[in-house]
Amino acid sequence: MAKLPDRRPETLGGYIVHGVPFPVKTDPDSLAFLKQMAPLQIEQDYKITYPHSYGQDSPWFAAASNKKLLASRDPESGYAYATPRGHDMYSGKETEWIDITETPAHIHAFTVCYFGSEEFLPETPFVLCLIKYEDINTLFLARLFGVDPDEPSLDWIGMEVKPRFLRNSKLKPTDVYFLPA
């Protein structure tokens, strides 16, 4: 019969632990002193593989990775969405894809972001803008480059812009951005 190990093997594991000191016990018969203990805080790397599907929006991402910007339109009513949408929000009917890559576009509104999620924090400040396309009923949210975020100007409202695409697609909405035309 194989001999079982006496103890579990230990590794450092990459944890950073905060607040470990154990409080001093004053009454030998009571554990009430534990209520004074500060909460332990542990830092650890967390990685997860998250398989997901873009489903009906897949053509939009495929087009963007090929330097094309698509919108979707209800073929009956003509209502058009600047963002990918597989079905019309009013009728529920399947939409059709339309290419708006060369369609004139203008800034409808913008904001300068001085804080962002972890992915975008190193790029702050950056400009987010809502893009208005002719004959499209909704707005498209994207980043605006080619302007100085430290000197925002109301002159940007109405400015014509053109879509640009990352050279190496990441299949993310941020693959498309805009520059002044």
Q: How many CB atoms lie within 10 A of CB 13?
A: 6
Q: How many CB atoms lie within 10 A of CB 38?
A: 10
User: How is residue 136 written in tokens?
Assistant: 């499209």
Greatest mean pLDDT among 5-14, 34-43, 51-60 lies in: 51-60
pLDDT at 33 over 80: no
Specify whether the CB–CB gap between 125 and 105 falls below 8 A.
no
What pLDDT does residue 30 have?
73
Q: What's the rounded Cα separation, in Å, for the pair 139 and 145?
A: 18
Cβ-contact 171, 61 below 8 angstroms: yes
Give the three-state DSSP class for 96: strand
Q: Is residue 21 over pLDDT 70?
A: no
Parse the chain into domains and list their residue ranges.
55-180
Angle at the Cα of 48 (from 177 to 42), degrees rounded to 5? 110
Convert the pLDDT of each residue in 79-107 to its tens digit: 999 999 999 998 899 999 999 999 999 99
Q: Is pLDDT at 118 greater than 90 in this prediction?
A: no
